[in-house]
Structure 1
């Protein structure tokens, strides 16, 4: 009996010499026991010799042949070079799995239901496309968008596994930069993303593309009629992609859309912005929303006096910089519920959001429009409490600047890299650290988080971190401690200013 080091690579699921699927021999949580192979083999020897653990033979796939060749020669692959050979092996294999999982949408409605032991076929599906290079991948991404579904379903459903892995799980890993760029640029060119949406974890701050569907919602015009109007102006073809995917330049079509806008009823307006009638009434009572025409000025004597474009502008004003929420975890509340808890109208919170006094805004993935607008209630209380204070807890300040794990901010304070002020908690009557306005200013003068860096320079943090890596700028960690993705501000500004000049 023998074991090969190749077999320890999780992406390889077959012995190519014997065409025998690899099987898990044992599982052990304790590391010391897990690596005591002599003990485990002594228990398995009889089963191994008897063939009890043998699985049904199968032929190797092209992916497995390529992977085995890369393991034999890390600098190359097969004599026939593939596009994937330029990437680190682990990243290339993971991408094949991500892409293959997304491509399973052609075969089934729930790609995530595939058992791990069947992943060899998923790797092969992704490899068949990825080895063809960027053009083949882009064709495959477009093909996924032609399956049942629309942009309103979200990228996680259109690109299962791939989107989350590239947007979040590997966001700090440069080995995935090219794969991330392909998906990012594809979505930027083919998705009607507006304010409140996100592109690989980064909030959209301005709409660049409309689809016939999003434009119909913004104008209150029936989709079929609007398509004819746009086609007559040469903006979209009369017959082409489905309305949800037929995109066009929003700025170019602005004049046409404004002239075609149709006024709608209050009921339709509330539905268009994703608000219940009671929520809509509160927004009207608070002066946030107002009809385009007064009832007395409606010459036709109807109630179609609401401009859907006003609803779009309202939603844009409150979703700027919103973070995507997969679920409303502890502390997140819908804006109407947060306002009710403080016994104030929603207009109070909305004005604070527009003034950038409330900055932790969430866009709930399960809802649309106003129904998706969530706020972090502790921040709301801090901003709108009867005794206003600019002091924030370390946890609240950490999350407001984009450091998801407050323990890292606390570590930064405890190690003397940024100041905090010890004060008495008004309710608990115990000392605890707060970030005062002066403390916050000191932090911002010295450091950038991904969020604050993107806000300061007006560029995507993905592009900026790639430039920083190329210039040799690493995340802040002078004493080997983990402070998260944190950069020293002066080093970042120096590098980016040089790039700009060039």
Structure 2
């Protein structure tokens, strides 16, 4: 032949030239033979049938073949039987399973780690030629699967009308096998599965496209309480290690990575399938507890109340998941919450004052779950007190003409809410008693409180004598939680809710009044946190979180601010 077997194994171009001369091969014949053999194309890469493969996908210690093909070769020759037997190129492929010509599984003929011995085909065939001719390697016929037919067409002429069209054949066939292993995991013992079962199962899903693959992997995620490595087995481990830098596997790595981020609480900064996770998508009760330093039992109360978790979810804590971005503010806030004693000290309130302001929903804890011992946000109380101090005048320590807001309520029955509204509307003067800080240091003049109480009684009498079945708009606004008088009036004047303008019988001024029908129209179209709380039984803070999580914004056409008013349809849809 003019060359050595060693040089042929090394794919020396001069050896190929010598082979072509000796065998009288024209350039097309030589190219065809080398295409089905696979020629080197870089570091541990082979060009095979016009596609790049890693060498190990084609160069395997185990040599397989279709014994029926080899026997037919021998029968068609008058010379030595084994000399006429021809090894086919596709039999080398690790991901090939069946000879479509005879519907016969490829069977192992010999195994050798030494390439020279492995590819001394004449010697190896002569050792087993009689067994091949006698049919001792034959197996029962099998029906080719859609995977087998697809692979044959792709190798023959590149035809492919599946999701894999235009993608690396090596990566596609390997992905089919790995996906099939994931799908069939635990469904049957490996020894009980027929050859090619993994490829067939994976291809059956993948041929339907990316959506079908994604849904299959998502279904596995939803059913598995283990980590991704165990849930996806070889698919995860191979894409995360062996093929993590293989360009052809990029689409499958990205698909699996995205799926994992949608179903497991992977932290930002972690390396996942060759890429660093930029931002956490999900938290579990476990990871949220670890990051906040709050026990999972306490944390669960907040997350259930906020709508992040369901209280009837019996999955393990590590698999109880919620949106990390939506509830990031809540998680950052929880460690800053304090108990009642700390709250009272921070805002300068007595125990009775804090409890009274809480009962009237003036100071509202972040949660009302009884088991949570630290429900208070100091900034809420501090802002409330600071806003009142802006209205206050200095009062000497022993001036008995003044009293705290709680004492004024207890003495006259005038609610804390009414007093606070009167202070902000300049109808009730506020003082700060010298030497007393915080909420307990805020005082009102007794005579002013008495006058306000008498005025309230007169107003009730006048209202009772007002138009039958009518309610002052401002009063209705306060009843639904719109305590800023201007917000509800603006809503009326903008034409978004009906009202009638009539003369107040006491003041003689024009005011907006609402009939029972007007009130019904408002409730049909709008909700507030107050009315939603009444309807659903949820705490206002829970409703706030749920609406925020569903991106339900306040009703503000043209960016006009009407306060915390929401369209009923949007709010109810968000709350389910």
TM-score (normalizing by structure 1) = 0.45
Bigger-Rg structure (1/2): 2
TM-score (normalizing by structure 2) = 0.40
